Structure 1
Amino acid sequence: MVWLVGALVALVLAAAIIRPHGLPEVAVAAPAALIVVGLGAVTPTEALEEVRALGPTVAFLAAILVLAHLADANGVFTWTASVLRRGSRGRPKRLLGLAFAACAITTAVLSLDATVVLLTPAILATATRMGVSPRPVNYAAAHLANSASTLLPVSNLTNLLAFSATGLGFLHFASLMALPWFVAIAVEFVVFRLFFARDLAAPPQPAPPSTPGRLAPPPRWALTVLGLTLLGFALSGIIGVAPVWIAVAGVALLGLPALKEGRTRPRSMLAAADPYFAVFVLALGILVAPLTTGEVGDWVGGLLPHSESFTALLVTASIAAIAANLVNNLPATLLMIGALGPGAPTGLLLAMLIGVNLGPNLTYTGSLATLLWRRVGTRCGQPPSLNTFTMLGLISTPPTIVGAVAALWLAL
């Protein structure tokens, strides 16, 4: 039975990568979950319990995705692009630094999906208008969508899945992950400056004559709402309000004016929530459940340490990174949480997040965000190179994981 479930997980992930006939991920995941339940690997009661457990997390993710869409509809990313263009002063190295900052902040506050889907086209257009090579900022968007997603519980679905298991509050989680987040970004930046030295040294080509030179006005209302929403997340544990309701309030404050002024439509907001992906996550949770509680989970659990020493944290992060590249970071997170078991040391859970978040920079299949970035880059006329992505990942991923784990050990 374990081998059959493993084969179904592999089939679902392959379908998510290939997307035959353009079908959404859920088109294969939902039938696979029903097969697992039908074969008795998961009882209907256990499946419903899995859905109940994942439901609040998935609802929160949907709200964050809508919030990111509304930020875009209110001109946040257009304004960001103009700030990058003006602030870089035609210098590729300055553009890379500003792009790193924009990607890191966007990933941390609005999740890695916002960086991939909304910010990547903006920074690629900025590089093109400046007449500089878009390669450094293009790959920076992909890497920081993963590497910069460790700071807040809202930054990544993997964080949301593990957040409740840590038993930490929002601010406590952020305080422990702040140093690892900063170190990972700093290591990535050094690697990028060296790896893309030739692109960054090339003189800019003449910009198109139609390129606007003035700075777009800041969307003050949208930026204020985003700031208040982030503050609400930080205070949610203190005031006793679930973070999902803070996100819903942010959606209402941005969405009602945007709907009234015609900047978005209800259908666009529903599409931004990505209900197909929400069902995919729930189906994947049911599908992976027999592995986390069965022989595979026991085997992985036997490999994991139980202390919070630096070596133990590094081993946990390394196993998580390997698992993410083998089966994708979403099922790897579910598997690792089950293998660590209830009452796992907080440090091991956070080290696991470093592994499943930073590890996917090694391969295309490591995270769904990277797969989505490939499609976005191709659509924007900058299709990524497998050789470049792999070589860059081999150089950057090990030191970022080691550096982030060392920072986590110090923070603990």
Structure 2
Amino acid sequence: MSSTGVIGGVLLLAGGAAILTGLLPMADAVAVLERTWPILLFVVAITVVTELAAEAGLFSAIAERMARLGRGRALVLWLHVVVFAVLGTVFLSLDTTAVLLTPVVVLLARHNGLPPLPFALTTVWLANTGSLLLPVANLTNLLAEHALGFSDPLRFASLMALPALVAVLVPCLAIALVFRRELALRFEPAAPPPPEDRVLFRVSAVVVALIVPGLVSGAPVWIPAVAGALVLLAVFAVRRRRVIRFSLVPWQLVLLAGGLFLVVETAHARGLAAALAGLVGEGGDAGALLRLAGLGAAGANAIDNLPAYLALEPLAEGDPARVAALLVGVNAGPLVTPWASLATLLWHERLVSLGVELSWRRYALLGLLVAPPTVALATLAILL
């Protein structure tokens, strides 16, 4: 079991102990369960879908198509990767971009003789900062949608559209400046390999294409995700059974999220919100929103973005502008420490396995340069 699973198990046991001892009232625990089971079910289902689609070669085929559209220029190819990463994050969640697209774009860069680092850094930064537009992009967004009482994903998108755009543009500008020499290179597009199984490839493409509109239809997001997962599991059971394994289920993330929900709810039951109220302040003016977003970003880099959101959510008071500012802080801010986002840790594991070197020191320094202006400008965009 990885450290994530161990921590999640410990937190879940702590939450169970809080219920048994009365620190967390049973009514509060039941309310947490009712709020979170659809979210966790969606996370499991969409992870299964994206893992199987990646196994079928769907993401690799898209990446190779981008290489041909790049016309031999690294900058043009990188811009296609930016679009790919943003769309993958917005519609299939930040973990899809960090975990599944990272090896795809790294191998794509190497396959065409380009340095992989600017492409790899693009996926992890946009996995975080690009996860503001739709509820399905991030666990925190799904929680915020529930807190706001929004039933239409497009209503959520209308609230977050401008901050989401800013949160994508600022990191991209930073990468374009830092890696301007690497992105000025030219390459000769390599011939892409054909899909190993055309039936699996086509079915995966159709399933993903149908899930995307389902996620913005207004129906509970777990329904299209579960339907897509069941279809792909059935097809893979017939054509490539060896791929179907327990590790497809992100059970470590489920343990971690479930434990965090219970532990933070226990802290709230014991007065956490009152203790933090003086730090957060009130109101929806620029200063108040920047204060809330900044505290969210600091909390995410200190302890992780999910508990940071859960701790501060009651202090957003259900105000759309304040909730949006909190989301900007906890989604676009965790670019400095490795543990600020689980997606970042998973991304780094993939880099290590691919032999791409990026020290945590350099990662943190780059994040310190990019995170503050990203959070500040995206927060100010809320007021527009």
Common fold, TM-score beyond 0.5? yes
What residue number does 1:309 align with?
285
1:335 counterpart (311, 322, 334): 311
Structure 1: runs of 5 or more not aligned: 1-15
Distance 2:208 2:178 in 1: 34
Cα separation, partners in 2 of 1:309 and 1:264, compared to 1, 3 Å: farther
Distance 1:213 1:58 in 2: 36
Contact 1:84 1:126 (8 Å CA) reproduced = no
What residue number does 1:135 align with?
117
Cα separation, partners in 2 of 1:234 and 1:213, compared to 1, 3 Å: closer
What residue number does 1:243 align with?
221
Q: Residues 216-365 of structure 1 correspond to what in structure 2 (within 5 A)?
A: 219-236=201-218, 241-262=219-240, 265-267=243-245, 270-341=246-317, 344-365=318-339
Per the alignment, in what secondary structure is the counterpart of residue 246 of structure 1?
Answer: helix
Map Cα deviations across residues 230-280 of structure 1 (whole Å, 9 max, x no partner): 2222222xxxx422112222223433333322276442xx42221232132
Distance 2:361 2:255 in 1: 33
Aligned alpha-carbon RMSD (Å): 2.6
Q: Residues 3-402 of structure 1 correspond to what in structure 2 (within 5 A)?
A: 19=2, 24-37=6-19, 39-168=21-150, 169-201=152-184, 212-213=191-192, 219-236=201-218, 241-262=219-240, 265-267=243-245, 270-341=246-317, 344-402=318-376
Deviation, 1:179, is 2.0
Contact 1:293 1:338 (8 Å CA) reproduced = no
Map Cα deviations across residues 213-245 of structure 1 (whole Å, 9 max, x no partner): 578799554334323222222222xxxx42211
Contact 2:12 2:262 (8 Å CA) reproduced = no
Contact 2:93 2:136 (8 Å CA) reproduced = yes
Range moving further from structure 2, 194-203 or 318-327: 194-203
Per the alignment, in what secondary structure is the counterpart of residue 56 of structure 1?
Answer: helix
Distance 2:302 2:349 in 1: 21
Q: TM-score, normalised by structure 2?
A: 0.90
Residue type at the aligned position of 1:371: L
Cα separation, partners in 2 of 1:245 and 1:214, compared to 1, 3 Å: closer
What residue number does 1:406 align with?
380
State the 4+ residue runs in structure 1 displaced beyond 6 angstroms: 214-218
Residue type at the aligned position of 2:253: F
Percent pairwise identity: 32
Structure 2: runs of 5 or more not aligned: none
Distance 1:292 1:223 in 2: 43
Per the alignment, in what secondary structure is the counterpart of residue 123 of structure 2?
Answer: helix
Per the alignment, in what secondary structure is the counterpart of residue 335 of structure 2?
Answer: helix
Contact 1:104 1:144 (8 Å CA) reproduced = yes
Deviation, 1:45, is 4.8
